[in-house]
Amino acid sequence: MRWILFLARVTLLCNFCFALSMVIRYTGDFIKNKDINSYIIILGLVAVIVNLFLNILQVILLLSQRKFLVPSWLLITNFIFLVMEIIFYA
């Protein structure tokens, strides 16, 4: 079950890229390197899919009463980002 912890950490990084891509979108392009800019935007778009998959997986594990090693602060942070992503894309 350590892969869920790994997936939660990757999802958190993607969520930070989502937040950074929203800052880039609304304030202008302050990152001069186009490769890094593109990388951040792509990870920000992928964050929605990965975050949705992770939260569905966590609900399934919670309902099956299996123990998983993800800290609660990481679960809550990823869920808050998921709510923000759904509000943004809805």
Q: Where are the domains of the chain?
A: 2-89
pLDDT digits (tens, 9 = 90+) for 14-42: 999 999 999 888 887 778 888 888 898 89
Complete DSSP assignment for 37-89: HHHHHHHHHHHHHHHHHHHHHHHHHHHTT------HHHHHHHHHHHHHHHHHH
Question: Is the full-model pTM beyond 0.85?
Answer: yes
Q: Can you give the three-state secondary structure of 11-46, one letter per residue? A: HHHHHHHHHHHHHHHHHCCCCCCHHHHHHHHHHHHH
pLDDT digits (tens, 9 = 90+) for 38-89: 898 899 899 999 999 999 998 898 898 877 788 989 999 999 999 999 999 8
- Amino acid present at 1: M
Q: Does the pLDDT of residue 12 top 90, yes or no?
A: yes
